[in-house]
Amino acid sequence: MKRSIATGVALVALCALAGISLAADPTATPALTPAPAKPAQASSDNLPLVPPAKPGVFTATKMGSDQFHLVVAGHKFTTQSDIEKYLTYRAAELTMEQKASWFTFVESRTKADTAPVPQRDPAGLRYSFRMEYFRPVWRYKTSSSPVWKSWSPFAGAAFITDGPKIITDFEVSADIVLHKGQMDDVNPLAFEAGAVSDLLINQVSPPE
């Protein structure tokens, strides 16, 4: 009897040293510790099609109950078309954010401007917008002069041709008036916000 008790005590001690529980099923597979979960990464499907602009690149100043002054500014000039399209896109997005459906572009003209004024055409084809009539004005500096220069699409002079090489700072601006309800589609300066956004959303990026 004493020998059986001693043998049992010795067996318990050996099991304890080996880290084995007498109550455990000898045929059971040891449980595996789960690997720590990796942090979730944003799916490319959820990324915005147009990256957000850095601070100061786009500003919208309210000038009245339904009028805004828009400015896009940057230091890295790409092309006139790229930057003007981005401003047009932001005009459309702002219009929809303000719960309006279309906007009109306000031309900034002087008495010296020579470009023809767009005329209403009730007999013409109907469009949701005509990109050639979104014509903002420019201010820019060049590598040879720190003084701001201006350019208007209505003055008759061509835009600077070697802009990517010499423009160091620029601002392009436009005034728009927001509207609700049915669009005035005989007005060449009228732009349907949703249609503009759909066209440009895959073509634009904020300048730097």
Strands (E), 49-184: 58-62, 67-74, 102-106, 137-142, 145-151, 167-179
Task: Say which range, 15-19, 30-34, 131-135, has the weakest mean pLDDT.
Answer: 15-19
Please, which residues have CB within 8 angstroms of residue 196's CB and are 6 or more apart in sequence? 88, 89, 91, 92, 128, 129
- State the Cα angle at 97 between 96 and 99, rounded to 5°: 65
What is the average per-residue pLDDT within 13-40?
44
In a domain, 78, yes or no: yes
pTM of the entire structure? 0.77
Full domain range(s) for residue 103: 51-200
> Total domain count for the chain?
1
In a domain, 144, yes or no: yes
In a domain, 29, yes or no: no
In a domain, 134, yes or no: yes
What is the average per-residue pLDDT within 43-52?
75
| Residue 173 Rama label (left phi>0; alpha psi -120 to 50; beta) | beta
Residue 2 has what pLDDT?
40
* pLDDT confidence tier of residue 31, bands split at 50, 70 and 90: very low
Q: How many CB atoms lie within 10 A of CB 197?
A: 20
Q: Give per-residue pLDDT as tens, 130-143.
A: 999 999 999 999 99
Q: Give per-residue pLDDT as tens, 151-208.
A: 999 999 999 888 899 999 999 999 999 999 999 999 999 999 999 999 999 999 999 9
Are the beta carbons of 91 and 191 closer than 8 angstroms? Answer: yes
In a domain, 75, yes or no: yes
CA distance 188 to 81: 19
